[in-house]
A and B are shown apart, each in its own frame.
Chain A
Amino acid sequence: DVKVTQSSRYLVKRTGEKVFLECVQDMDHENMFWYRQDPGLGLRLIYFSYDVKMKEKGDIPEGYSVSREKKERFSLILESASTNQTSMYLCASSLTQAGYTFGSGTRLTVV
């Protein structure tokens, strides 16, 4: 069963910590994405990648960075976590124009 796996389902971190959210896909997809989901705001794109070592900013990249050293892995990094980054984070991968496959999400709480 093909899938996108996010390493943590729930995460609690302290303000100022560096946080790594990991995402791995086993479908050999070129494209990978990080979204955050907040009530009333839907899903907003943070960063995406169309290839290894390639990254592009989405709509809300401030406070985040990403890493894609291998095709199957796309990591989201919160350089210095803040309370306004408390959210549900969703990773997705895709073949071009085929629609996304999503991971089950990481609910991050920053205290």
Chain B
Amino acid sequence: AQKVTQAQTEISVVEKEDVTLDCVYETRDTTYYLFWYKQPPSGELVFLIRRNSFDEQNEISGRYSWNFQKSTSSFNFTITASQVVDSAVYFCALSGYNTDKLIFGTGTRLQVFP
């Protein structure tokens, strides 16, 4: 069975702090995709990144970076120098190779205080 675990329910930081959101997944598939989505207070989920299981290179996009480690089945998300606008719920998700069904984690609420 596929499963995504986001153990951190809520994280609070002060602006400019770095913060890492954890994501651990379970799957029997050898080929799969991992995703991160952001849900700001407005409610609409925004796509952040997709990573396939063959690509373990870390990715950086501005203040955002992702660390994919197959050995520990983790796909962690780091925000450097956090800002108030980063306040949102962040979801990690997993899909198998031949399906578009996404399995979501329960989300991590990030609050960034000025």
User: Are A104 and B44 in contact, with the CB atoms below 8 A?
Assistant: yes
Contact with A along B90-112 (1 / 0, CB 8 A): 01000101001110111100000
Residues of A in contact, count (CB < 8 Å): 27
Q: How far is the CA of A44 from the CA of B106 in the complex (A)?
A: 9
User: Are A42 and B45 in contact, with the CB atoms below 8 A?
Assistant: no
27 A-B residue pairs with Cβ-Cβ distance under 8 Å, sorted by A, are A33-B100, A33-B101, A40-B9, A41-B106, A42-B104, A42-B105, A42-B106, A43-B91, A44-B104, A45-B101, A45-B102, A48-B100, A50-B100, A58-B101, A92-B45, A96-B100, A97-B33, A97-B50, A97-B100, A98-B50, A100-B37, A100-B102, A102-B37, A102-B45, A104-B44, A105-B43, A105-B44
In the assembled complex, B64 has its CB within 8 A of some CB on chain A: no
Number of A-B contacts (CB under 8 A): 54
